[in-house]
């Protein structure tokens, strides 16, 4: 069997939010605070995305 390498959007939510938080931290000269806010936002965004897609999936799979 051939293994498919799918790039899923939820794999990009966490690092994307961390980079946004880091950028905001650079603006206010509080990089660690920005990274922590970005990490928290990334975890929440990933959880919400997975929960929303597991409810709307047609294949019957859940988290």
Domain around 25: 13-53
What's the pLDDT score for residue 18?
93
For residues 51 and 43, give the distance between their C-alpha atoms in angstroms, rounded to a whole number. 12
Give residue-wise pLDDT tens across range 2-44: 666 677 877 889 999 999 999 999 999 999 999 999 999 999 9
What's the pLDDT score for residue 1?
54
Q: Tell me whether residue 2 is in a domain.
A: no
pTM of the model: 0.70
Q: Tell me whether residue 44 is in a domain.
A: yes
What's the pLDDT score for residue 63?
52
Could you give the number of structural domains in the chain? 1
Convert the chain into a string of H (helix), E (strand) and C (coil). Answer: CCCCCCCCCHHHHHHHHHHHHHHHHHHHCCHHHHHHHHHHHHHHHHHHHHHHHHHHCCCCCCC
Q: Tell me whether residue 19 is in a domain.
A: yes
């Amino acid at each position: 069997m051939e293994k498919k390498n799918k790039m899923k959007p939820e794999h990009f939510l966490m690092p994307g939010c961390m980079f946004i938080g880091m950028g905001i931290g650079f603006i206010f000269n509080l990089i660690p605070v920005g990274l922590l806010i970005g990490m928290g936002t990334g975890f929440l965004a990933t959880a919400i995305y997975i929960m929303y897609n597991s409810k709307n999936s047609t294949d019957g799979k859940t988290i």
